[in-house]
Structure 1
Amino acid sequence: MTRSNGSEDRRTRGSIRVRGNSLQVRVFSGKDPVTGKDVYLTESVKGTDKAAYKAADKVQTRLLAEVDSQRATSSNATFAYAASEWLRVSELEDSTRELYVGYIDRTINPAFGSTPVRKMTTRMLENLYAELRRCRVRCDRKPFVEHKAAGDHDCKEAKCKPHKCSPLSTSAVRQVHSIISGILGAADRWDWIPGNPAKAAKRPKQKQPQPEPPSSAEAARLAEEAFRRDDDWGTLVWFVMTTGVRRGELCALKWSSIDLDEGVVEIRRSYRLRRGVGTEKDTKTHQMRRIALDTETVVLLMEHRDRWRDRLATADVDLTDDMYVFTGIRKADPTAPYSPHAVSSRYKEMADRLGIKTHLHALRHYSATELLTAGTDLRTVAGRLGHGGGGATTLKVYAAWVAASDRKAAELLGSRMPKVTRKPRDKKSAD
């Protein structure tokens, strides 16, 4: 250990040197595994008197202990580099990867990209979350114009507008936190930093889910209108109502997954359409599930299958198990899945014409809430919906309906209890 005015041999491992009105403590902690450069731990102590040197000696001893116990920082890699390495080694769905890259490019790297990961702190993260909840572009509160085109341009023609602060939603900020936590967690595992500061960072509170399923009367109107338009579309809407499947699962459904004799459908795959390119993938929870079908739904699917057999027979084509159950109206081809966007758009247009404010995913909520209100147990409903956690997700999303179901169960149990004849109280003995 040495005290110097600015030059020291790194083999001495540590030094204390004067920097203005302060003392800077430097301790060599090894080679950076990414850049190959020497890495130093530094800390400042105010003052240059004897007491300051005594305090600096204690700081130096602590930093050397950190190095010796391998808790010291070992990398000067920037956060942007750590993010790119994390994306490179992470196993993510294509849609998830695109989502993460968008957040990193638009929000995270502009804030921390050039910051060394070893300098990331919990307070920095919480400051970012607070700024994003105020303004998604983290403006300095000074007026400016948001230009819609690069370079020299006519703002009026490009429709450039004065900036108005728009906060990032709570769920989006929580997503940003999740990505940052993943990156810093990887840096921690790789020994680039001594710990993950995101673990202690306070995120915005998650709002309680508030599903808004259509009422029974609205559901009846929607189903009736769907069948009025055409039987294929009516069968699709009815199927979603009774099974609660996700949109992608509906579009990926093939005849090989439906056993009409047993009245069971297997949900194995999901279909997604991204930038005009469709792909099949695992379900959201990466698990297959079996859903029992009611008699009416089985009959409707049988009629739906017969219709397609007759249509294909006119072209001397057989209906096979590898064909899709539902297909679009513009391109009625059972070898191609129904576009998820087209399903949502057609359903929304139908609901709007009926004056019902709803969307396709609300039919999933309708299926769940109808089952819970009818007294179906939580695990069964969770299984039909494909929720993980043994019903924890279902309980969180549909807490109000679970409570209503519990009240109904209590009343049912009370009605089945044996009636007890109670003796009238003797007024004198009571006195």
Structure 2
Amino acid sequence: MSEPTAKGDNRKRGNIRQRGKSLQVRVYAGIDPVTGRQSYLTETVKGTDKAAHRQAQKVMTRLQAQVDRQRGPDSSVTLSYAIDEWLKTADIEATTRHGYVGYINRTIKPALGKIAVNKLTARALETFYAELRRCRVRCDGRPYIEHKLEGDHDCKVAKCKPHKCSGMANSSVRQIHSIISGVLNAAVRWEWISTNPAQIAQRPRQTAPQPDPPSPAEAARLVEKAFALDEDWGTLVWLVMTTGIRRGEACALRWSRVDLDEGIIEIRRSYTKLRGVGQEKDTKTHQMRRIALDTETIVLLREHKARMQQRCHELGAKWSENSFVFTSTRGSDLNEPYSPDAVSSRYKKMATRLGIDTHIHALRHYSATELLTAGVDLRTVAGRLGHGGGGATTLRVYAAWVAAADRKAAEVLGSRMPKRRP
């Protein structure tokens, strides 16, 4: 198809073409001002029968109207289009982007995608958030959502799947709000709208953190079981328990960042897997930190390093200080780090066999609460955990344990005061 190249060109602005068992609608949207390339809006309609062709014609009309609105001086683009443009330019880490796209495709676009960004209001957003908190699929009170038959029918006779409302967590709705706000901020910068309604829209309250660390007795059983299963595995669990590092940080740790003479480890990177592909990235707070090690941990890491070097020698491979401290349990590749998901899964199974309801991240809570209960100052604990804000995050998450440490501090000071005579 020849595309229009100048104003007044009467050639077709779009077409419908078959792609397998679907129809693709393609509408010319002009020249991209940045790349200089021809831009298109596309949408797919399932099926190839007459009904599908009629639906495709409606889609093409809608897309052509959208292009006209985008070119009009007094109109605005749709939220769906704004989201797509924002995703092209936003600097977002791969794992975060994956989560955002899930929220966008499942929740945001189906509900608000067709609304023009200049028509979105704070009230509309607050209503949307309230609907999600009531029911994540926004069922409007309908008892059946997934129907087996089209048209009028008796759902009970057709055995349609009954629906039970399940509200979305406040944290998830806040995440959705963050995405919408980011998109609308971009729309303001791009002069599509003058103000961002998400900035004044009321979002759900942030749920208070409720850390549930294992007790000292449970922690002892967990680490003892870990060493009984595997010395390498036991060392990993021990290190997470004594330092409070995140699972991804433990998996990304390299021997070049472990100073056994000084008793220090440097946390610079985190490791993650997305769709089976592993990658290193910055830490959660994008900051490097150094954590001091106790004597017993240094001994365990020396023994672990010796085992790794011996294993490397047996495999006929050359040892490198840049090797990962904890490597994959599959095969003989000493350069493949332990998968964070595998760490979580193995730990959960181990805890379940011991009859302890916990997860690997709770060891981070254990480290923090034990230090605070022992009277270690808030800033030091925050530094070891890698919390930003100079301890504000640590105080918010572990407020109860900070209060206990404060009580202990009061008793210490009181015991040193001169005794009053009766």
| TM-score over 0.5 (shorter chain) | yes
SS at match of 1:234: helix
| Aligned residue in 1 for 2:10 | none
SS at match of 1:109: helix
| Aligned residue in 2 for 1:272 | 272
Whether the aligned pair in 2 keeps the contact of 1:372 and 1:405 (CA below 8 Å) is: yes
Q: Does 1:35 align with 2:44?
A: no
The farther-off stretch of 313-322 and 210-219 is 313-322
| Aligned residue in 2 for 1:101 | 101
Provide structure 2 residue ranges, at least 5 long, that are not aligned to the other structure: 1-66
Cα separation, partners in 2 of 1:233 and 1:122, compared to 1, 3 Å: same
Per-residue CA distance 1:197-226 (angstroms, 9 max, x = gap): 111111111111000000000000111111
| Aligned residue in 2 for 1:249 | 249
> Equivalents in 2 of 1:213, 1:149: separation in Å?
49
> Equivalents in 2 of 1:149, 1:418: separation in Å?
84
Please tell me the residue identity of whatever aligns with 1:331: G
Cα separation, partners in 2 of 1:99 and 1:147, compared to 1, 3 Å: farther
> Equivalents in 2 of 1:172, 1:77: separation in Å?
26
> Equivalents in 1 of 2:263, 2:349: separation in Å?
31
| Aligned residue in 1 for 2:169 | 169
Q: Does 1:369 align with 2:380?
A: no
Q: Map of 1:394-409 to 2, 5 A cutoff?
A: 394-409=394-409
> Equivalents in 2 of 1:187, 1:318: separation in Å?
53
Work out the number of aligned pairs and report it: 350
Q: Map of 1:311-390 to 2, 5 A cutoff?
A: 311-390=311-390
Q: CA deviation at 1:186?
A: 1.7
Cα separation, partners in 2 of 1:160 and 1:322, compared to 1, 3 Å: farther
The farther-off stretch of 362-371 and 99-108 is 99-108
Q: Does 1:183 align with 2:183?
A: yes
> Equivalents in 1 of 2:148, 2:266: separation in Å?
48
| Aligned residue in 2 for 1:124 | 124
Q: CA deviation at 1:147?
A: 5.8
Whether the aligned pair in 2 keeps the contact of 1:373 and 1:404 (CA below 8 Å) is: yes
Q: CA deviation at 1:332?
A: 4.7
| Aligned residue in 2 for 1:48 | none
SS at match of 1:35: helix
Q: Map of 1:37-186 to 2, 5 A cutoff?
A: 37-39=72-74, 75-146=75-146, 161-186=161-186
> Equivalents in 2 of 1:33, 1:420: separation in Å?
86
TM-score by length of 2: 0.79
Cα separation, partners in 2 of 1:291 and 1:149, compared to 1, 3 Å: farther
Q: Map of 1:191-340 to 2, 5 A cutoff?
A: 191-340=191-340
| Aligned residue in 2 for 1:28 | none
| Aligned residue in 1 for 2:25 | none
Please tell me the residue identity of whatever aligns with 1:250: A
Per-residue CA distance 1:36-63 (angstroms, 9 max, x = gap): 2241xxxxxxxxxxxxxxxxxxxxxxxx
Please tell me the residue identity of whatever aligns with 1:130: A
SS at match of 2:412: helix
> Equivalents in 2 of 1:33, 1:239: separation in Å?
60
Q: CA deviation at 1:357?
A: 0.4
| Aligned residue in 2 for 1:19 | none
> Equivalents in 1 of 2:235, 2:335: separation in Å?
18
Per-residue CA distance 1:25-45 (angstroms, 9 max, x = gap): xxxxxxx99822241xxxxxx
Whether the aligned pair in 2 keeps the contact of 1:325 and 1:334 (CA below 8 Å) is: no
Cα separation, partners in 2 of 1:128 and 1:384, compared to 1, 3 Å: same
> Equivalents in 2 of 1:198, 1:246: separation in Å?
32
> Equivalents in 1 of 2:368, 2:275: separation in Å?
31
> Equivalents in 2 of 1:300, 1:147: separation in Å?
59
Whether the aligned pair in 1 keeps the contact of 2:76 and 2:193 (CA below 8 Å) is: no
Whether the aligned pair in 1 keeps the contact of 2:139 and 2:145 (CA below 8 Å) is: no
Q: CA deviation at 1:232?
A: 1.0
Whether the aligned pair in 2 keeps the contact of 1:312 and 1:319 (CA below 8 Å) is: yes
> Equivalents in 1 of 2:214, 2:171: separation in Å?
24
> Equivalents in 2 of 1:287, 1:148: separation in Å?
52
> Equivalents in 2 of 1:132, 1:93: separation in Å?
26
TM-score by length of 1: 0.78
Q: CA deviation at 1:243?
A: 0.6
Q: CA deviation at 1:146?
A: 2.1
SS at match of 1:132: helix
Q: CA deviation at 1:315?
A: 2.9
> Equivalents in 1 of 2:307, 2:99: separation in Å?
40
